[in-house]
Amino acid sequence: MAEADSVKALSGLLNGIAQKAYYGNSDITEDLLKSEIYPDMSQEEFHALHEKMRGVLKSIATADMDQTQLEAFLTAQTCKQGGGGVSSEQAAALGRFWKAHRMRIRESLLAQSRWEPGLRSVNWRVDLQTASSRGSTSSTPVALVELELGRNRQDSEFVCLEFDELKVNQVLKKMAEIQESIDSIVHHS
């Protein structure tokens, strides 16, 4: 395989790995990549190459390497003895691939790590309740809280809560306990 063809094939392999691992394309399989990109390579050789590139790309993506970190990492990979490292051509292809795909892979990793649904906004106000459902009149303050919840790229759902003074105080107490727990964890690490 000529060097230009080798670099092109490796770029295709990296794109395939990214499609499956980061972009959620379940149609991409190791067998598909082998048959389309490296049909003449033995299954064992291809599996070793695939796993090596998948591992290197995972290391780069997990660390969200900037250009300086990437260059140092790839230099270290090219200096590895034995079959554990990458060639200079592979390092160059990895560098070009990461430069082109860094932001998209980062966004994908962030989206995969978010809890769903997420809290998009909170709106609240205090009203005076002037009449109850039984017809009696009172002027009790009531807190009305509206939570906007949403999943990535979907419409929002709204949850409306109504609290009297006692419930507001209970919520504030629980939030203070949560903050104390977070503070104790942060200060211990």
Question: What pTM value is reported for the model?
Answer: 0.63
Q: Amino acid identity, residue 188? A: H
Residue 155 DSSP class: -
Taking Cα atoms as reference points, which of 62, 51, 52 lies closest to residue 102?
62
Q: What confidence score (pLDDT) does residue 151 get?
A: 77
Q: In the prediction, which pLDDT does 125 show?
A: 92
Q: What is the pLDDT of residue 114?
A: 73
Closest CA to 130 of 140, 119, 115: 140
Q: For the chain, give the number of residues.
A: 189
Residues 6+ apart with CB under 8 A from 128: 139, 140, 141, 142
Question: What is the band of 155 on the pLDDT scale with cuts at 50, 70, 90?
Answer: confident
Question: What's the rounded mean pLDDT across residues 25-40?
Answer: 93
Average pLDDT estimate for 6-10: 89
Q: What are phi and psi of 119, to 5 degrees?
A: -85, 115
Flag whether pLDDT at 187 surpasses 90. no
Single out the residue of 108, 116, 77, 112 nearest to residue 93, CA to CA.
Answer: 77
What would the mean pLDDT of 9-32 be, rounded to a whole number?
A: 93
Of 109, 20, 25, nearest to 59 by C-alpha is 109
From CA 19, how far away is CA 9, in angstroms rounded?
15
Q: Which two tokens stand for residue 152?
A: 């990535």
Q: What is the pLDDT of residues 122-144, one digit of tens each?
A: 999 988 876 666 666 667 888 99
Regarding predicted confidence, which is higher, 131 or 9? 9
